[in-house]
Amino acid sequence: MERLDALSDKEFSILGNPVLPGYGVRIKRTRWCDDTVKAYTGYIDIQARHLFFYFFESRSEPDKDDVLLWTNGGPGGSSSVGLLMELGPCRVLDAEGPKFHPESWNTKANIFFIDQPVGTGFSYAEFGETAETTEDAAKDIAAFMVIFFEHFTKFKGRAFHLTGESYAGRYLPVYASEIYDQNAKLVEQGLTPINLTSIMIGNGWTNMYSVLLSWPDFECSKIGRPVLDISTCVAAKKMVPRCKKWIQASCIDHFDGIDCNSAVSTCQAALGGPYVAAGWNPYDITQKCEDQKSLCYSLTRCFLNASDTRELIGADPAAGNFELINTELHDAFFNNLDHMHTSVEHVAALLERDIRVLIYVGSYDWIAHWVGNERWTLDMEWSGKEEFNKQPLRDWVVDGKFAGKTRSAKGLTFATVEAAGHMVPYNKPKESLEMLLRWLAEEAL
């Protein structure tokens, strides 16, 4: 289907493809967020699994601009948070409903937001099947992308970027690898390969060990922001060498589920427990936590459960009530120890295949702070390591003002965003949009 505007705004159009039996699309035009662009909602149906998405065309040149996929983390966190709180064409930050967002990432890109894995947000499975590991979820995302580009042909061959934050740091390198590897099979079947160009990870949980072991440096010194008392910091720093040795032996050199779980649980409690117990916001080290149930922010939780909103966007009743995070799905990933596997090797493999990677981190975030993220980018083994590591951190600037620090070489860029927390586009919409525009244009930050 070349012309998306031919779709109905009253009911779903159901599309199939003989090359993809068992896969399909339900999609409709939707006018609920931003009247300046064409918007669509619907489901990619992968047999009995149904992934809900929002799609917004670019405000600039939708027939030419790149395509982005955005996912939030969790695991089990709905990407409606990214859409309605951070980088979407409208924001819902209070009871008054959607308001136009001038710094949306669809300023210069076609972008869709996806509720994934299955079971997240408005996504659902007919018989309760859910993905419970990142590797399982990657298969659904790869299928999603094939279906999207095969059905909506005007986007075929466009540069495609996977973007997201938090646990997406674990997701995206694996998803991108699955999409890249799938391309060879698409060519064999006479289909158009997906033009995977880059991944962008914000405040990512790509290497939890690097973040965990660096907490004392971040919460106890001027590298980050010293918010804990001295005696607590001394005790935590004494634990770091022991934790590093234990984690190396049990989680990295040889993964043993029981030993690794013990190491991580003990070290998380010793190195991160005091910060949480003090009531600080894990997503912004400058603030106390307002509401643990709402990710420490006063989010509008009822908007997407309103019957008129659900009817407008076509949320299937089978999806049940909307929740910001599916706690059962979240627990399933953790019970499978998914979070104890890093995605660093996938990042390195993508870089070796000329897929660009941007790692950006708000300087105020604690849960996936910049110190730990910078350290794993420097430690990562790949052909560009020497050149990347010899680059000094330099300032990057927006409108003549300091926006953060950055380092870049051989397709890998690391950047901090000054005074932003875990959700960078929420705190710094202008800077995050400028970062995106430079990245899409392959310009240095």
Residue 77 contacts residue 167 (beta carbons within 8 Å): yes
The residue written with tokens 């005696």 in the block is 231
Could you write out the DSSP letters of every residue in 280-339? EETTEEEEE-S-GGGTTS----SGGGSHHHHHHHT--GGG-S--SB-HHHHHHHHHTTGG
CA 443 to chain centre: 22
Residue 233 contacts residue 226 (beta carbons within 8 Å): yes
Determine which one of 166, 250, 363, 408 is catalytic: 166
Show the 3-state SS of 205-254: CCCHHHHHHHHHHHHHCCCCCCCCCHHHHHHHHHHHHHHHHHHHHHHHHC
Determine which one of 365, 369, 408, 432 is catalytic: 365
Alpha carbon distance 54, 203 (integer Å): 23
Alpha carbon distance 397, 112 (integer Å): 28
Determine which one of 50, 151, 330, 422 is catalytic: 422
Terminal C-alpha separation, the chain: 37
Could you list the beta-strand ranges (E) of 73-159: 90-91, 99-100, 110-114, 124-125
Single out the residue of 173, 90, 106 nearest to residue 436, CA to CA: 106
The question of whether 166 is a catalytic residue gets the answer yes
What DSSP designation does 97 have?
-
Beta strand 67-71 pairing with 90-91? unpaired
* Amino acid found at 346: H
Residue 307 contacts residue 88 (beta carbons within 8 Å): no
The question of whether 136 is a catalytic residue gets the answer no
Length of the chain: 445
The number of C-alpha atoms within 13 Å of 129 and in the hemisphere containing its C-beta is 11
Single out the residue of 418, 371, 40 nearest to residue 220, CA to CA: 371
Where do runs of H (alpha helix) occur along 97-133? none
Sequence-separated (6 or more) residues with CB below 8 Å from residue 118: 49, 50, 51, 124, 125, 129, 130, 131, 137, 140
What DSSP designation does 4 have?
G
Point out the residues that are catalytic: 166, 365, 422
